[in-house]
C-alpha cells in the first residue's frame, strides 16, 4: 500500500509539472507552429487572463465561467493585436519578436498603472484527497485532466474541421492555399486569436496558485519558452506533448531534491543539451519516426 | 596602417566621405576639450551616457551585421560586473587589483558566451531560438542573484547581497592612479572611440564580409566553404565581451550593481538602442545609444513609472514605421545633396 501511494505521488508530481509546462506553452506553440511568429507578449496575455478571472471571480462569477471568460476576453484582444500590429511582421520573425516584446512591456506596465501592484487572490477551488501518507489537490488533478482534454480538442480541431484543414494548408503553402480560395489572412487572425485565448485560459487556471500581479507573466516566460524550444515547430501537438513530458522528466526529480529554482535551471541546461542533439526539437524527431513507420506500413 | 585606414573607410557603415571624417574628428576633439567647462559631477554624468555604447555596438554587430538577435546581452554585462566586484573587492589595497578584476570579468564573459554559444550554434538551431534562450538565461541569472542575500553568499570578503546588490565595488585604478571624475570621463571616451573604430574596421574586413554573407544567406555561405558555426560563435563571443566592457564601466562608475541590471527592463534597453538607431549601422547605434541614455537619465529623475511604457511604445513604433531604424532612415532618405555628401550613402543598397 505504502509503495503504491509513493508511486502515485511520483506520477502526480510528474503529471503536475507536465501539465504546468504544457499549459504555459500551449498558446505560444499554436501561434509558432502555424504562423512562425514568436509571441513574446505571451506571459502578459496569461497575466490578462488571470486579471480577467480575478476581477470576475470577485464579482461573484463561478470559477469555471471565469476561466472561459478569460479565454474569450484574451482571444478578442489577440485578434485585435493581430489585425493592428502582428500582421505586418509575417516573414520577419526577428522583427515580430522585437515588436511583441514592446507590446509585453506596455501591457505589464499598463496593468501596474491601471490596477496597482496586485489584485486580490483567488482561493484554490476543490479540496484534497488523501492516499496513504500523501495528499493530492483535487484542483491540480482537474487541471491535469483539462490539459489532456485541451490537447484532444486541439487535435480534433486541426484534423476534423474545415478550419483545421485550412490552417494546415495555410501553414504548409500559403500561396497555394490562397490560390485555392482559403482566406489566409482570416486563418492567421483566428490562429493568433486562438493562441492568445489559450494563453488567457491557462493564466486563469494558474491564477489560484500564484500571486496575481502585473509582472506575474515573467515567471511563465522561462518554462514556456524552454518547452517551445524543445518542442520545435514541425508538428504543434506532438511537439507540445513530447517536450512537456520530456522536460517534466527532468524537472520533477531535480526540483524535488534541490528546489524549484534549480529545477528551472535544470530545464535550461536540459534544453541546451536537447537542442544540441535534436536542433529542430522533439516534434521533428517524432515526425520522422511516424514518417518512417508509414513508409514501411 | 594605410591598410587599416582603407578598411576604416570601407562601405559597411554610414558616413564615409571626407566631410564626414572632418566632422568626426571635430566632434571627438570637442568631446575631449569640453569637460574644461563642466563640473566634475557633470563630467561623470556624461561618462554615464557613453558607457553603454560598447554593449550596444556589440549587439549591432551580432544582430545587424550577422543576423543573430540576442535579448540576453545584459547577462554578460552583469557577469562582468559581478566578477569584477568579487575579484577587485577581494584585492583591495593591491594597486593592480582592479586591472586583474577587469581581465577576469571579461574572461568569464567570454567563457560563458563560448559555452552557451557552442550548444546553440553547433546545434544549428533555428533563428528564433537564440533570442529566446538568451532571454531565459538572463532572467534565470536575475533570479539566482536575487536570492544571494545572507552570509552564506560571501565570496572572500565580498557579499553578493541579494536584491540589494553588491556595494562598495572599487573604482578602476592603474598603479596608484585611481580613475574617477574627469579621468573617468576620458577613460570611457577613449574606450568608446577605440571600440567604434575597431568594430568599423572589423565589419569592413574580410571577416566582416563573411559575417554579412551569413546574415544574407547562411546556406550559400556554408557552401562557399566557410564554417558558419564557428564564425557565428566568434561574433557571439565578441558581442558578449563588448557587453562585458559596458558592465565593467558601469560598476567602476557607480561602485555598485544590483540583480535588476540583468532583469527584463535592462534586457530590453540594448535592443531598443540598436533598433532606434538602425541595426545595420554602427554609427547610428552609437548616436542613438548616447541620445537615449541621456533621455533615460533625464526621464528617470521624474516619471520612472512611465519608463517601461515609453520604451515599449518606442519599440512598437520603430518596428512598425522605421524597420531600418530612425537614424539610418534619415541618413538614407533626406533628399539633400549636401547631406548625401556628408553621410556618403548612395540611394539604394550599399557596396
Residue-wise pLDDT for A13-53, tens only, equals: 889 989 999 999 998 888 888 888 888 899 999 999 999 99
Whole-complex ipTM: 0.82
Radius of gyration of chain A from Cα atoms? 19
- Residues with Cβ within 8 Å of B259's Cβ and at least 6 positions away in sequence, in order, are B78, B141, B142, B145, B146, B162, B163, B165
Spatial separation of the C-alpha atoms in residues A18 and A22, rounded to whole Å: 6
| DSSP reduced 3-state for A36 | coil
Cell of B324: 531600418
Smallest Cα distance from A113 to chain B, Å:
8
Angle in degrees, 0-180, between the axes of helices B97-122 and B73-90, rounded to the nearest 10: 150
Q: What pLDDT is attached to residue A34?
A: 81
Each residue's pLDDT tens digit, B155-172 = 888 888 888 888 888 889
- Tell me the β-bridge partners of A134: A131
Q: What pLDDT is attached to residue B344?
A: 62
CB contact, 8 Å: A179 with chain B?
no
**pLDDT greater than 80 at residue A218:** yes
List, as ranges, residues 144-163 from B with C-beta within 8 Å of A: 144, 147
b/e A9-45 (16+ beta carbons within 10 angstroms → b): beebbbbbbbbbbbbbbbbbbbbbbbbbbbbbbbbbb
Nearest residue, CB atoms, A275 vs list B119, B264, B268: B119
CA-nearest residue to A234 within chain B is B126
Q: Rounded to whole angstroms, what are the CA distances from A133 to A4, A16, B115, B192? A: 11, 18, 44, 64
Q: Are residues B312 and A109 in contact, defined by beta-carbon separation less than 8 angstroms?
A: yes
Spatial separation of the C-alpha atoms in residues A282 and A259, rounded to whole Å: 26
Q: What pLDDT is attached to residue B301?
A: 66
Each residue's pLDDT tens digit, B196-251 = 999 999 999 999 999 999 999 999 999 999 999 999 999 999 999 999 999 999 99
Nearest residue, CB atoms, A268 vs list B122, B140, B320: B140
Cβ neighbours of A275 in B, within 8 Å: 119-120, 123, 125, 129
A213 falls in which pLDDT band (50, 70, 90)? confident
Q: Per-residue pLDDT averaged across A150-171, rounded?
A: 89
Nearest residue, CB atoms, B319 vs list A102, A226, A265: A102
CB contact, 8 Å: A121 with chain B?
no
b/e B42-56 (16+ beta carbons within 10 angstroms → b): ebbebbbbbbbbbbb
B345 falls in which pLDDT band (50, 70, 90)? low
How many residues are present in chain A?
297
**pLDDT greater than 70 at residue A3:** yes
- Residues with Cβ within 8 Å of B282's Cβ and at least 6 positions away in sequence, in order, are B13, B57, B60, B61, B196, B199, B200, B203
A130 falls in which pLDDT band (50, 70, 90)? confident
Each residue's pLDDT tens digit, B280-316 = 899 999 999 999 888 877 777 665 667 778 888 888 9
Q: What pLDDT is attached to residue B106?
A: 96
* Angle, CA of B247, A40 and B72, to the nearest 5°: 15
Q: Are residues A8 and A206 in contact, defined by beta-carbon separation less than 8 angstroms?
A: no
Cell of A81: 493585436
Q: What pLDDT is attached to residue B303?
A: 59
| Substitution target from B265, B309, B325 for chain A, most A beta carbons within 10 A | B309
Q: What pLDDT is attached to residue B302?
A: 64
Spatial separation of the C-alpha atoms in residues B152 and B164, rounded to whole Å: 15
- Percent of chain B scoring above 70 in pLDDT: 94
Mean pLDDT (chain B) is 87
Radius of gyration of chain B from Cα atoms? 20
Amino acid at each position: 500500500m505504502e509503495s503504491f501511494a509513493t508511486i502515485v505521488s511520483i506520477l502526480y508530481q510528474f503529471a503536475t509539472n507536465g501539465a504546468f509546462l504544457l499549459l504555459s506553452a500551449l498558446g505560444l506553440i499554436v501561434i509558432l507552429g502555424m504562423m512562425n511568429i514568436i509571441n513574446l507578449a505571451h506571459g502578459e496575455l496569461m497575466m490578462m487572463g488571470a486579471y480577467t478571472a480575478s476581477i470576475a471571480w470577485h464579482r461573484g462569477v463561478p470559477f469555471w465561467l471565469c476561466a472561459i471568460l478569460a479565454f474569450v476576453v484574451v482571444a478578442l484582444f489577440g485578434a485585435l493585436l493581430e489585425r493592428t500590429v502582428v500582421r505586418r511582421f509575417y516573414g520577419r520573425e526577428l522583427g515580430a519578436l522585437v515588436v511583441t516584446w514592446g507590446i509585453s512591456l506596455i501591457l505589464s506596465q499598463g496593468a501596474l498603472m491601471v490596477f496597482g501592484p496586485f489584485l486580490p487572490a483567488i482561493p484554490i477551488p476543490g479540496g484534497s484527497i488523501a492516499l496513504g501518507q500523501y495528499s493530492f489537490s483535487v484542483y491540480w488533478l482537474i487541471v491535469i485532466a483539462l490539459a489532456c482534454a485541451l490537447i484532444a480538442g486541439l487535435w480534433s480541431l486541426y484534423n476534423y474541421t474545415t478550419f483545421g484543414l485550412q490552417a494546415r494548408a495555410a501553414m504548409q503553402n500559403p500561396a497555394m492555399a490562397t490560390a485555392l480560395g482559403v482566406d489566409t489572412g482570416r486563418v492567421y487572425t483566428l490562429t493568433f486569436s486562438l493562441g492568445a485565448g489559450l494563453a488567457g485560459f491557462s493564466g486563469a487556471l494558474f491564477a489560484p496558485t500564484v500571486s496575481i500581479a502585473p509582472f506575474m507573466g515573467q515567471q511563465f516566460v522561462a518554462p514556456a519558452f524552454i518547452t517551445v524550444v524543445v518542442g520545435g515547430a514541425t508538428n504543434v501537438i506532438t511537439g507540445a506533448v513530447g517536450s512537456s513530458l520530456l522536460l517534466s522528466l527532468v524537472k520533477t526529480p531535480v526540483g524535488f531534491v534541490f528546489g524549484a529554482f534549480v529545477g528551472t535551471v535544470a530545464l535550461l541546461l536540459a534544453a541546451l543539451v536537447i537542442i544540441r542533439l535534436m536542433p529542430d526539437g522533439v516534434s521533428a524527431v517524432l515526425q520522422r519516426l511516424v514518417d518512417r513507420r508509414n513508409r514501411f506500413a | 596602417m594605410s591598410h587599416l585606414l582603407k578598411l576604416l573607410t570601407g562601405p559597411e557603415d554610414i558616413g564615409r566621405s571626407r566631410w564626414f571624417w572632418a566632422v568626426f574628428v571635430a566632434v571627438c576633439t570637442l568631446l575631449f576639450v569640453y569637460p574644461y567647462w563642466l563640473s566634475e559631477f557633470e563630467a561623470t554624468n556624461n561618462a554615464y551616457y557613453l558607457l553603454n555604447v560598447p554593449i550596444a555596438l556589440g549587439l549591432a554587430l551580432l544582430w545587424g551585421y550577422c543576423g543573430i538577435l540576442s535579448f540576453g546581452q545584459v547577462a554578460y554585462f552583469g557577469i562582468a560586473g559581478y566578477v569584477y566586484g568579487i575579484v577587485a573587492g577581494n584585492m583591495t589595497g593591491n594597486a593592480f587589483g582592479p586591472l586583474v578584476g577587469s581581465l577576469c570579468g571579461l574572461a568569464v564573459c567570454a567563457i560563458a558566451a563560448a559555452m552557451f554559444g557552442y550548444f546553440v550554434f553547433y546545434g544549428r538551431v533555428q533563428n528564433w531560438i537564440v533570442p529566446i534562450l538568451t532571454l531565459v538565461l538572463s532572467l534565470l541569472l536575475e533570479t539566482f542573484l536575487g536570492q544571494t542575500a545572507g552570509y552564506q553568499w560571501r565570496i572572500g570578503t565580498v557579499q553578493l547581497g541579494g536584491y540589494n546588490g553588491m556595494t562598495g565595488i572599487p573604482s578602476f585604478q592603474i598603479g596608484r592612479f585611481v580613475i574617477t571624475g574627469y579621468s573617468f570621463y576620458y577613460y570611457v571616451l577613449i574606450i568608446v572611440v577605440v571600440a567604434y573604430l575597431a568594430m568599423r574596421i572589423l565589419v569592413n574586413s574580410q571577416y566582416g564580409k563573411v559575417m554579412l554573407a551569413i546574415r544574407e544567406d547562411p546556406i550559400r555561405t556554408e557552401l562557399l566553404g566557410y564554417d558558419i558555426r564557428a564564425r557565428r560563435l566568434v561574433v557571439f563571443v565578441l558581442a558578449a565581451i563588448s557587453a562585458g566592457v559596458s558592465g565593467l564601466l558601469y560598476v567602476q562608475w557607480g561602485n555598485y550593481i544590483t540583480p535588476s541590471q540583468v532583469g527584463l527592463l535592462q534586457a530590453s534597453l540594448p535592443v531598443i538602442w540598436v533598433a532606434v538607431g538602425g541595426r545595420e549601422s554602427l554609427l547610428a547605434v552609437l548616436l542613438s545609444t548616447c541620445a537615449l541614455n541621456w533621455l533615460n537619465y533625464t526621464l528617470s529623475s521624474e516619471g520612472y513609472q512611465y519608463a517601461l511604457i515609453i520604451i515599449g511604445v518606442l519599440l512598437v513604433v520603430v518596428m512598425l514605421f522605421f524597420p531600418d531604424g530612425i537614424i539610418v532612415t534619415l541618413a538614407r532618405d533626406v533628399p539633400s545633396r549636401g547631406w548625401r555628401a556628408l553621410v556618403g550613402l548612395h540611394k539604394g543598397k550599399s557596396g
